[in-house]
Amino acid sequence: MFRRIAAIVLVVILAAIAWTWRMAPLTVSIGSGPIALVQSGAVVRSFAVGEASSAIQATLPVASTAGTTLIAIWGNPNGGTPTVSASPAGWTRLVAVPQSTTTDFEIWAYYNNPGGISLATFTGAGLVGFNSWRGAMSEWANVASVTTLETSGTATATSGFTLTPTTTGNVVSTGDLAISAWIQACAGGTVTDTSPAGWTRLIDNSTEATSSHMAAEYLPSPPVGSTLGPTLTSSVASTSAAGATIVLRAVSPTTDMTAYLKY
Amino acid sequence: MAGPSLKLNTADFQLLLGGYYLLEDGSGRYLLEDSSGAYLLDAYVPQVGDPVVFTQPTWSGRVVSVNRRDIMTARTNYDEVSITATNTAVAGSGSGALLSDGGSYYLLEDSSGRYQLEDASGLYLLDAAAYRNLAVRVSQNQDGSTTTYGSLETYTAGYAAGQTFLLVSSNLNLSSSYTITNVTTDFEGANPPTPYYTIEFGDAYQTLQQAGGGILTRQASAPTQALGVVMPGGVLGYAEVTADQGTFTALTDITGLTVTVTVASGRRIRISAKVACSSSVAGDSADLQILEGATMLENAEAVVQTTAITLVSIAVEVILTPTASIHTYKVSMRRVAGTGNLTMRAVTGGFSGPAWLLVEDIGT
């Protein structure tokens, strides 16, 4: 008897669950959570001897997820008026900072990427005898894919241990993402990079014994209402340096729009 | 539009933004303190690029189009926003439930009759989902093949693009399996809205060229396009110089004649170049090379005269199927015989014309 009652109760509960699920109304939400770092790849060196123009590469540890934003950072401090001369489809140049004809530093973005990207191959032009580039790629979730760059700023130097790329405009929106990065030509060897207060290291090649050092920092939700100018610091003096700070807008926070649906 | 319309890769829906705050008892609007007006609702207006998530049914993508319409002539303080969102979801596989018009029965294995209930009180009916508005079109293409395209509407959920299902129609005398090419979810009614599903099945919807049997061609100067025929991709890169260079004797890169191209997988390319030169001693021989890095891909030699006599143009070309990647090609020149000094000639207005390097995708 008890089993029969239990079975009937169970059937009634399952039927209720099924009915509730079937009758659950359509909902729609627009927007998503705050900007978040998904992953970042190490600094990659691309080097070509005797080539004025060659393939330069940046990598991610894991293939990207569709819809996220990819950021590629490129730098060449070796002379020959270096520049990133070509990119794969989908990439947008956010900033390019030449320090005379010696150094070039650039930041590129791929908004709303289609997914499956773990290698980005650009073309870099530079000194025929020493066309050497450093590149790094990172992946970010919940970055706006339209009118993304809110403000940016650049800086160059030919001496000193620091660089302070300051944005030309104020940070306007809450929940933005700020990235500040640079490349310096310096005496060969390893260096020690120091992050600005409150910022987090994204990538660096400080342990690589080289005369080309790249480092990048990031700051989620930078303060609004003022410009942003973090001071990037290396333990070794620059002979040429170039860097930039970019501020990217976030997508809107998740908003339930079900009540506004028109039938 | 009567509610959202969701497909595999698109979602179209409208929002009615705006309105007024109401008093708790619903007796009227919540007025401003000076009674000059009412408190307005301030709703978020979706932006291009915003993520969109639906539940019941599940769908996610990004906004690609926002159309705001002022409907003040109909209602004040309202804003009708039409939104299109897309994603890149791919069709799955599996089986969908049987769809039947309800008039079908299980048949005996030998087709001699219907399968009766044990007490002979009736017949076994097919357990199937119902549908309406069935249409099946079979068309023959110009190449002789036939294409089937069908659609129907059902209130039964669970169908998805890529599934196969058995369609039974006693009215149209159909009992065949089809593959679903798309499912559109629409809604009717409002309290609550009831979803219904338009299922498209059969062969993929035809392009104009397919419908024409693959023989449609593009006229004028463009090459003929035919279904199944690989077309050339055209010019991948071109460089030209109009200044002389030199003198030199050893292998020397021609300044400006470098091209970096991206070659797709399995493509065949043609690299061609033309460079004119002269020598300080008549009768020398010049060698024009196409290189990738330090690797010579092809070369051509010619006996060179002095400028006072005439210039010699040297042309060289090579056909390659390189790896799918970025490739940089360049042109170099050297003296291979004689004692004079070479000068590359390309001055605008001179007898040689510009020197150039061309990289073309010519097919597979």
Those residues whose C-beta lies under 8 Å from the C-beta of residue A33, and which sit 6 or more positions away, are A141, A142, A253, A254
Query: Nearest chain A Cα to B50, which residue?
Result: A31
pLDDT of B299: 92
What residue numbers bound the domain in which B188 lies?
Answer: 99-208
A101 and A9 fall within a common domain? no
| Residue A234 scores a pLDDT above 80 | yes
pLDDT of B316: 92
B244 and B356 fall within a common domain? yes
Q: Collect all residues of chain B within an 8 Å Cβ-Cβ radius of residue A260.
A: 15-17, 43
A21 and A97 fall within a common domain? no
- pLDDT tier, B207 (very low <50, low <70, confident <90, very high otherwise): low
Please check whether residue B145 lies inside any domain of the structure: yes
φ/ψ (deg, to 5) at A58: -135, 150
B191 and B271 fall within a common domain? no
The nearest CA of chain B is from the CA of A148 a distance in Å of 10
What residue numbers bound the domain in which A150 lies?
Answer: 36-248
| Residue B257 scores a pLDDT above 70 | yes
pTM: predicted TM-score of the whole model, two decimal places: 0.63
Chain Cα centroid distance, residue B355: 37
Which among B79, B328, B359 is the top mutation candidate for probing chain A, defined by the most A β-carbons within 10 Å of its own β-carbon? B328
A45 and A129 fall within a common domain? yes
**A119 vs A169: CA distance, rounded Å:** 33
Please check whether residue A263 lies inside any domain of the structure: no
Residue B348 in tokens: 């605008």
Q: Collect all residues of chain A within an 8 Å Cβ-Cβ radius of residue B17.
A: 260
Average pLDDT over residues B195-212: 76
pLDDT of A136: 97
| Residue A30 scores a pLDDT above 90 | yes
A96 and A139 fall within a common domain? yes
A54 and A73 fall within a common domain? yes
pLDDT of B225: 54
B108 and B138 fall within a common domain? yes
Average pLDDT over residues B32-47: 83
A139 and A10 fall within a common domain? no
Residue B131, domain CATH: 2.40.30.150
| Residue A232 scores a pLDDT above 60 | yes
B63 and B135 fall within a common domain? no
Please check whether residue B222 lies inside any domain of the structure: no
A79 and A18 fall within a common domain? no
Please check whether residue A119 lies inside any domain of the structure: yes
Please check whether residue B77 lies inside any domain of the structure: yes
> How far, CA to CA in Å, does B14 sit from each of A111, B2, B3, B17, B65?
26, 9, 7, 9, 11
CB B81 within 8 A of CB B17: yes
pLDDT over 90 percentage in chain B:
30
Number of folded domains that form chain B: 3
- pLDDT tier, B130 (very low <50, low <70, confident <90, very high otherwise): confident
Interface TM-score (ipTM) > 0.90: no
Please check whether residue A261 lies inside any domain of the structure: no
Those residues whose C-beta lies under 8 Å from the C-beta of residue B110, and which sit 6 or more positions away, are none
Average pLDDT over residues B35-59: 86
A12 and A117 fall within a common domain? no
> How far, CA to CA in Å, does B18 sit from each of A41, A149, B32, B127?
45, 30, 17, 47
Is A262 in contact with B14 (Cβ distance < 8 A)? yes
Nearest-Å Rg of the Cα atoms of chain A is 24
pLDDT of B126: 65
Please check whether residue B215 lies inside any domain of the structure: no
A94 and A175 fall within a common domain? yes
Number of folded domains that form chain A: 2
B180 and B266 fall within a common domain? no
pLDDT over 70 percentage in chain A:
90
- pLDDT tier, B219 (very low <50, low <70, confident <90, very high otherwise): very low
| Residue A219 scores a pLDDT above 90 | yes
CB A170 within 8 A of CB A250: no
B202 and B258 fall within a common domain? no
Q: Which of B46, B64, B86 is the last residue of a domain?
A: B86
A13 and A135 fall within a common domain? no
| Residue A23 scores a pLDDT above 60 | no
| Residue B222 scores a pLDDT above 50 | no
Q: What is the mean pLDDT of chain B?
A: 83
Q: Which is more confident, B310 or A109? A: A109
pLDDT of B25: 87
The nearest CA of chain B is from the CA of A121 a distance in Å of 8
pLDDT, tens only, B291-333: 999 999 999 988 887 765 567 889 999 999 999 888 999 999 9
Please check whether residue A262 lies inside any domain of the structure: no
The nearest CA of chain A is from the CA of B354 a distance in Å of 22
Q: Which residues of B touch A (CB under 8 A)?
A: 1-4, 13-17, 43-44, 46-57, 62-63, 80, 88, 187, 189-190, 192-193, 195, 258, 260, 262, 293-294, 325-326, 328
